[in-house]
Amino acid sequence: MRVVPPALAPLRQGPTPLVLAAYAASLFFNGYVEGYRAFHRGFAPRVAARALHLRGDPSVLHAVLAPVFVLAFFHATRRRLIARYLLLFGLIGLIWVVRRCPQPWRGAIDAGVAVALAWGVVSLVYYFVRGLSGKTPPVSADLPDR
């Protein structure tokens, strides 16, 4: 919800055609690359798979640290751990850069991010409901012992 007000600010000021094109490009790019490819096809089903694994094979440590377990910040394959921490630091860097962008460009970026995050939330709910109904997520949980 924090990205929505800066995303809408330039639209309230009578955007130029260039700004509208930037919004359209950001919505399409972030919606597809982040929302569909990253969240829907990768992140959400993997989080669901790890949560379902935890539900079926709980250990005390994994249960206590469930949020970071399902996000694969520990007890994951070496490749997944490296990817997860690189992604975390990359996202921190991107957030730092985007916060310094002037409007209306920050608004266009934030609009795309809001769409991608909304898609991610819907995808998480979708894969959890599917998993709870007995359908296995389409990706591996990336557990180290598999």
Cα–Cα distance for residue pair 134/22, rounded to 1 Å: 42
Residue 74 sits in which domain range?
A: 17-132
**Local confidence band at 13 (pLDDT 50, 70, 90 cut-offs):** confident
| DSSP classification of residue 40 | I
**Residue 120 belongs to a domain:** yes
Average predicted confidence (pLDDT) for the chain: 93
**Residue 140 belongs to a domain:** no
**Residue 125 belongs to a domain:** yes
pLDDT tens for each residue of 112-122: 999 999 999 99
pLDDT of residue 145: 75
**Residue 4 belongs to a domain:** no
**Residue 59 belongs to a domain:** yes
Q: What angle do CA 51, 46, 143 make, to 5 degrees?
A: 75
Cα–Cα distance for residue pair 128/102, rounded to 1 Å: 38
pLDDT tens for each residue of 49-106: 999 999 988 889 999 999 999 999 999 999 999 999 999 999 999 999 999 999 999 9
Percentage with pLDDT > 90 across the chain: 85
**Residue 60 belongs to a domain:** yes
Give the mean model confidence (pLDDT) for residues 16-34: 96
Domain count, the chain: 1
The model's pTM: 0.87
Which residues have CB under 8 Å from 126's CB, separation 6+?
44
**Residue 100 belongs to a domain:** yes
**Residue 92 belongs to a domain:** yes
The CA distances from residue 87 to 11, 66, 71, 73, 116, in Å, are 30, 19, 12, 11, 16
**Local confidence band at 27 (pLDDT 50, 70, 90 cut-offs):** very high
What's the token pair of residue 25? 């490009």
pLDDT higher than threshold 60 for residue 146:
no
